[in-house]
Amino acid sequence: MKNPLIETWFNLRGNPKACVWTEPLWGLSMNLCLPYSSVYMSALDIKDDKIGLIATVYMLSQVVFAFLSGPITDKLGRRKTTAIFDFFAWCIPCLIWMRADNFWFFLVAALFNGAMKVPTNSWDCLMVEDAEKSQITRIYSLVIVCGHLSALFAPISSILVSRLTLIPAIRILYINAFVVMTIKLTVLYCCSRETKTGAVRIQETKGKSILSLAGGYAGVIQIMGRSPGTIFSLIVAALVGAVGMINITFWQIIVSKKLEVPDTLLPLFPMFRSVIALGFFFTVIPHLTKVSLRNPLLLGFASYMIGQTILVFIPPESIFMYPMLCVSLIFDGFGAGILAMLAESLVALHVNAPERARVMAIQHMIIMFATSPFGWISGKLSDISRNLPFVLTLSLLFVGILATLGYYAQKPASEV
């Protein structure tokens, strides 16, 4: 019997194919740097509370760009917006990070990097607007799979760090990320075409300014407010986003500073988590998401909670440290993987199709605004104890379980 994800991969056509097939290039660019981003800042003598502040500024920058992303995407088109703002949001920050030697470099880079919410919106529209609705969950599964596949390149980072030491190695990796990301956005632009909805919106917005288009958000918010599914998808996405941000920022720090795992080993653990997640995506997850999304959501939140709980209780300098860290990553890999896919799918499935760009802009803005305080809060908590940011994630994941139970109590279990 054919695997549904493999079958979907080879049956993709048009824009979905261009978007998904170029996604593995992310692994040869940003994902070589991300496992070291926080410890890179720490090595440059930036304190935990400042790292948390940078994360919050990054989120607030995303709020502003998320607000503008709908009008920009409609006016320029999905394809052109993705190319321009991917360069602005990723390639330029890579050059800043490469030269960074104090807090202010990272703060400026965070402001630029927040523009990634514009291509996040336009890229989503480019990928799914011309796709069949029945394919959307599998398409997002493939995107998550590509992200996890990229972690298999982590040993490249580990080898560089072991040979050159941390700071010089990461500077080289940021130069590499600049080059590969530039190639990625160029190939995507050349291999994609404007969507049918995008072409209509370009014509409809001719002669209108970005700010005047943003003024039409009141009607869009009313559309969203009438959809319980949209509200629920926002809650799930905000919770998953907040937990993900805390983990991206402080997982490296707790493992490096509290557990004293050597820098050269740091990329290997995300690689292990990604391999585990890939196994779940090709075996268990496609069967879990065939009918209702209720049980997969509950299972994802619960699995993520177990992984985070184990992480908090790992004893440093113990023979059980590495085995417990691996077990934690197994639960994290399943929970984070399925929740990331379901959060994206829920947003896409409940969106109003003709107003997709502006609805998703509002959704991204609300999600970023809701999650932005958690970087600063986690930084303050981490200054008190390395464990406390993950006590916070446990609370957020528990809220996710309650929200899922509450939403599906009002609907038949088979409804998305």
Q: Is 208 exposed, middle or buried (0-12, 13-18, 19+ CB in 10 A)?
A: middle
Instruction: Quick: pLDDT tens for 62-119.
Output: 888 888 888 899 899 999 999 999 999 999 999 999 999 999 999 999 999 999 989 9
Q: Is residue 355 predicted with pLDDT exceeding 50?
A: yes
Report the distance separating Cα 173 and Cα 194, nearest Å. 33
- Which sequence spans correspond to the domains of the chain? 4-409
What is the C-alpha to C-alpha distance for residues 321 and 285, in angstroms, rounded to an integer? 29
pTM recorded for the entire structure: 0.70
- Cα(first)–Cα(last) distance of the chain, in Å? 27
Cβ atoms of residues 307 and 247 within 8 Å: no
Report the distance separating Cα 291 and Cα 281, nearest Å: 16
pLDDT of residue 291: 61
- Greater pLDDT, 262 or 172: 172
Residue 394: what pLDDT? 95
Q: 27 near 153, Cβ under 8 Å?
A: yes
Cα separation, 154 vs 265, whole angstroms: 10
pLDDT averaged over every residue in the chain? 84
- What pLDDT was estimated at residue 349? 67
Higher per-residue confidence, 414 vs 233: 233
* Residues above pLDDT 70, as percent of the chain: 91
* Enclosing H/E stretch for 415: none
Q: What is the pLDDT of residue 414?
A: 46
Per the CB < 8 A criterion, the answer to whether 234 and 366 are in contact is yes
Given a cut of 70, whether residue 1 has pLDDT beyond it is no
User: What pLDDT was estimated at residue 402?
Assistant: 95
Above 90 in pLDDT, residue 359? no
Instruction: Report pLDDT for 241.
Output: 86
**Between these two residues, 410 and 200, which has the higher pLDDT value?**
200
Query: What is the pLDDT confidence band of residue 416, given thresholds at 50, 70 and 90?
Result: very low
State the Rg of the chain over Cα: 20
User: What percentage of the chain carries pLDDT values higher than 90?
Assistant: 33
Among residues 245, 276, 275, 315, which one has the least CA distance to residue 37?
A: 245
Place of tokens 């010089």: 168
DSSP 8-state secondary structure symbol assigned to residue 259: S
Residue 336 has pLDDT above 80, yes or no: yes
Instruction: Convert the pLDDT of each residue in 274-320 to its tens digit.
Output: 788 777 777 777 676 666 778 889 999 999 999 999 999 998 878 88
- So what's the pLDDT on residue 186? 96
pLDDT computed for residue 354 by the predictor: 61
What's CA 311's distance to the chain center, in Å?
A: 21
Q: 217 pLDDT band (50/70/90 cuts)?
A: low
Which of residues 205 and 287 earns the better pLDDT score?
Answer: 205
pLDDT tens digits along 104-163: 999 999 999 999 989 988 998 899 888 877 777 788 878 878 877 766 777 788 788 888
Q: Distance between CA atoms of 100 and 107, rounded to whole angstroms?
A: 10
pLDDT (average), residues 348-370: 70
Q: What pLDDT score does 178 carry?
A: 96
Is pLDDT above 90 for 337? no
Q: What is the pLDDT of residue 289?
A: 62
Confidence of residue 2 (pLDDT cuts 50, 70, 90): low
Q: What is the pLDDT of residue 311?
A: 92
Is the pLDDT confidence value at 322 over 70? yes
- Ranking 57-61, 256-260, 265-269, 399-403 by mean pLDDT, the lowest is 265-269
351: left (phi over 0), alpha (psi -120 to 50) or beta: beta
Q: Which fold has domain 4-409?
A: Growth Hormone; Chain: A; (1.20.1250)
Question: Who wins on pLDDT, 350 or 192?
Answer: 192
